[in-house]
Amino acid sequence: MKEKLTAPELRRQKGGTPLVWLTAYDFPGAQLAEEADVDVILVGDSVGTTVLGYPSTIPVTMDDMVYHAKMVRRGAPHTMMIVDLPFLSYVTPEIALQNAGRLMQEALADGVKLEGGRSILPVIDALVQHEIPVVGHLGLTPQSIHRMGGYRVQARTADAIEALVDDAQVLADHGIIALVLEGIPDRVAQYVTESIPVPTIGIGAGHQTDGQVLVFHDCLGLSSSYPKFAKPFAHVRQAMLEGITQYRREVTERQFPDETHSYHVPDKEWQEFWHRRHPASSSSEPAR
């Protein structure tokens, strides 16, 4: 198992072997991620759409994030864990400090991630000044889904590219330890990666970033549908569906549980019980 990354060590991974990030939302998922030696586990507010059944990340609360992050930490105590600050949890530096503090103290997070560029610099400054490692997030920012009009690829015009590059440079200057780039063209992501001194982590941003992150359910084929950038590396959903279908069939046909999967009482003990309850019966075995 790898040594747990620290914030300074993460920054020093810039330009090295690509970093492997994976989301996780519970104890068994975190265990699997740690056993597979991923570099960083991200407890994303994507828990809203992948686990909680919401249509977007907007309804996810701080209590949700703390609850799931605590499970992940118990499952992966030796892996760096970054936790998302959810919608409206960092509208002011004071609110951001309070909520980030909860994640650090209650869930033992190693850092927090938040979406946005220059407009949230006061929040980032406050977190950094209070020794909380911060990961930025630019491009397709799911908490802005209503403003963006849906999950759409960003930075496709010269003006939008310039704004994103400027945001990335400013965030890096203000002390973030890494930057997630989501849903942007590969050339834009490569340019940002080459322009800033902190690692970039891509999701739908091509292969030239300093690392990649995938949603747990997309990585393992647990989702019912996938965005263009997601590749299932296993087909767990199909295997689970087949298993549940087989379980239903064997139960309805009385094939399960069979003798192997049942507990048994010794014949002597059963006979003694039977005669106690039915002393007048000549039968030594009740009807089955």
Summarize pLDDT for 82-110 with one digit per residue, the tens.
Answer: 999 999 999 999 999 999 999 999 999 99
30 near 71, Cβ under 8 Å?
yes
> Domain locations in the chain?
7-219
Structure confidence at residue 47 (pLDDT) = 98
- In the beta sheet, which residues pair with residue 112? 83, 134
Q: Which residues of the chain have pLDDT under 70?
A: 282-288
Catalytic residue among 9, 94, 106, 182: 182
Q: Which amino acid, one-letter code, is at 60?
A: V
b or e along 60-87 (b: 16 or more beta carbons within 10 Å of the residue's beta carbon)? bebebbbebbbbbbebbeebbbbbbbbb
Measure the CA–CA gap between 153 and 140, rounded to whole angstroms.
Answer: 6
pTM above 0.75, yes or no: yes
Measure the CA–CA gap between 256 and 243, rounded to whole angstroms.
Answer: 13
Measure the CA–CA gap between 214 and 44, rounded to whole angstroms.
Answer: 10
Give yes or no: 182 in active site: yes
Q: What's the angle, vertex CA 96, arms to CA 90 and CA 100, rounded to 5?
A: 120
Structure confidence at residue 1 (pLDDT) = 72
Give the residue numbers of the binding site: 45-46, 84, 113, 115
Token look-up 């000044």 returns 129
b or e along 121-136 (b: 16 or more beta carbons within 10 Å of the residue's beta carbon)? bebbebbeeeebbbbb
Residue in 148, 233, 210 with CA at minimum distance from that of residue 183: 148
For residue 9, how far is the Cα from the chain centroid?
Answer: 21
- In the beta sheet, which residues pair with residue 286? none
Q: Is the peptide bond before 232 cis (omega within 30 degrees of 0)?
A: no
Q: What's the angle, vertex CA 269, arms to CA 265 and CA 274, rounded to 5?
A: 105
Give the residue numbers of the binding site for 3-methyl-2-oxobutanoate: 45-46, 84, 113
234-275 tens-digit pLDDT: 999 999 999 999 999 999 999 999 999 999 999 999 999 999
Spell out the residues 6+ positions from residue 96 whose beta carbon is closer than 8 angstroms to its own: 85, 89, 90, 114, 123, 126, 127
What tokens were used for 112?
């927090």
114 near 85, Cβ under 8 Å?
yes
Spell out the residues 6+ positions from residue 32 whose beta carbon is closer than 8 angstroms to its own: 24
Measure the CA–CA gap between 160 and 46, rounded to whole angstroms.
Answer: 25
What is the full DSSP assignment across 48-67?
Answer: HHHTS--SSSTT--HHHHHH
Structure confidence at residue 286 (pLDDT) = 58
Token look-up 């991620």 returns 33
Structure confidence at residue 45 (pLDDT) = 98
Let me know how long the chain is: 288
By DSSP bridging, strand 200-203 and strand 178-182 are parallel
Which CATH superfamily does the domain covering 7-219 fall into? Phosphoenolpyruvate-binding domains (3.20.20.60)
Structure confidence at residue 97 (pLDDT) = 98
Give the residue numbers of the binding site for Mg(2+): 45, 84, 115
